[in-house]
Amino acid sequence: MKTLQFLCLLLIPVFTANAQTIENNELVIGKVDSIHSKILNANRKIWIYLPASARKTPYKKQHYPIIYLLDAESHFSSLTGMIQQFSEVNGNKVFPEAIVIGIPNVNRSLDLTPTNALTGPDGRTYPSFKNSGGGEKFQAFIEKELMPHIDSLYAPSNHKTIIGHSFGGLTVMNIMVHHPNLFNRYVAIDPSMWWDSRKLLNETKVALKDKKFDGKYLFVGVANTMPPGMTTTQAVKDTSGTTGHIRAILSLNEALQNRTANGLSYDYKFYQNDDHGSVPLIAEYDALHWLYKGYKKQLN
C-alpha cells in the first residue's frame, strides 16, 4: 500500500509535466484522431500520446514502442504519465519512450467480449450483456484498420503492447490466444476470465499446451475481489458467486504457471490491498517495469 501511495504522490506533478504543449492556454497531453472503420461500420476516435522527441524529430528517424490501451477514458492519463515520468523526466530511462494509442469505448460489452453471453460471474443473468460478443470484429478493426493507420503515421519498433482491464483484460487474453502474432507484449489486468462459462479460459488452457508463444510476454495483475478475510487458497475451494471472478483468474494463473516449454515469458502479481477499480494503475506500473527490466542497464 505504501508503494501505491508513493506512486500517487509521484504522479501528481507528472500530469502537469506530461502536458508538454500549450494550446489556447490549456495544457494538452495528447491529441484526438479518428478513423472510419468499415469493419465496425462506425467512426472511431483514437487518443494519441507522443513522447517529446517524436514531436521534435521526423518520425522515421526513431522507432518507438507502441502501446495500445483499451478503456482509454479510464487509463490514458495514468499510463502516459508513468511513461513520461520514467522515460523523460530528469533524465529517467527506466522505460523507453513510447507512443500510446488509446481506444475509448463506444459499446464496451460489445467490443470487449469474444462471445455472446448473458450470465455474470455470480451466475445471474445480465440484460446489459444482450449485445455482447463483438470481440472478433473489434480485433479485426485493430489489426486491419487501426494498426495500418498508426503505422502509416509513425515509425513503430517491433515492441507492440496491448493493455486491458476487466473486459479489456479478457480482450487481451483473447487476442493472445487466437491472434498471438498481433502483439508481442500483453498486459491483462484483473481479466474477466469467467465470461461465457469460462469458455476463453478453457481455450487458453488448450492453447498453452498446443501452441508456441516464442518471443511473447504476458503480465497478469489480479485484484483482491474476495470477501473480507478470505485468502486465495480459500477462494479456489469456494463455490459461491462472490468469488467467481477471482477463481477464474486464479485458474488461469495455475495453467500459466504449469505451462510446458511453449516460449511464453510470464509474470503474475496479486494485489492484496487493491480492489477491481483501484488495481489498474499499480498493475500498469509493475507490468511496465517487468516488461522493460534491464532496459536502463542496457543504456549504461
Q: Report the alpha-carbon distance of residue 85 to residue 93 in Å, rounded.
A: 9
b/e per residue, 222-248, with b = 16+ CB within 10 A? bbbbbeeeeebeebeebeeeebbbbbb
Supply 91's cell numbers.
533524465
User: pLDDT exceeding 90 applies to what percent of the chain?
Assistant: 78
Q: Report the alpha-carbon distance of residue 120 to residue 246 in Å, rounded.
A: 13
Residue 234 has pLDDT above 50, yes or no: yes
> For residue 57, what pLDDT is reported?
59
Q: Tens of pLDDT along 81-101?
A: 999 999 988 888 899 999 999
Q: Report the alpha-carbon distance of residue 170 to residue 277 in Å, rounded.
A: 16
Q: What mean pLDDT is reported for the chain?
A: 90
The distance from CA 162 to its chain's CA centroid, rounded to whole angstroms, is: 5
> For residue 26, what pLDDT is reported?
80
Q: What angle do CA 213, 220, 297 make, to 5 degrees?
A: 75
Which of the four pLDDT bands, split at 50, 70 and 90, describes residue 58? low
Mean pLDDT for 171-191 is: 97
Residue 297 has pLDDT above 80, yes or no: no
**71: Cβ–Cβ under 8 A, 6 or more apart, which residues?**
103, 104, 105, 108, 164, 165, 166, 168
Long-range pairs of 172-176 with CB within 8 A, sequence gap ≥ 24: 172/70, 173/200, 173/204, 173/252, 174/114, 174/135, 174/139, 174/200, 175/139, 175/142, 176/213, 176/216, 176/218
Q: Tens of pLDDT along 206-215?
A: 999 999 999 9
Which of the four pLDDT bands, split at 50, 70 and 90, describes residue 3? very low
Mean pLDDT for 15-19 is: 37
Count other Cβ atoms within 10 Å, centred on residue 107.
13
Listed residue (104, 101, 134) closest to 117, CA to CA = 134
> For residue 9, what pLDDT is reported?
37
Listed residue (200, 169, 205, 198) closest to 186, CA to CA = 169
> For residue 145, what pLDDT is reported?
98
Q: Report the alpha-carbon distance of residue 288 to residue 8 in Å, rounded.
A: 16
Which of the four pLDDT bands, split at 50, 70 and 90, describes residue 18? very low
Residue 40 has pLDDT above 70, yes or no: yes
Which of the four pLDDT bands, split at 50, 70 and 90, describes residue 295? confident
Q: Report the alpha-carbon distance of residue 281 to residue 123 in Å, rounded.
A: 29
Listed residue (173, 171, 150) closest to 67, CA to CA = 150
Residue 242 has pLDDT above 60, yes or no: yes
User: What CATH number has the domain spanning 2-299?
Assistant: 3.40.50.1820
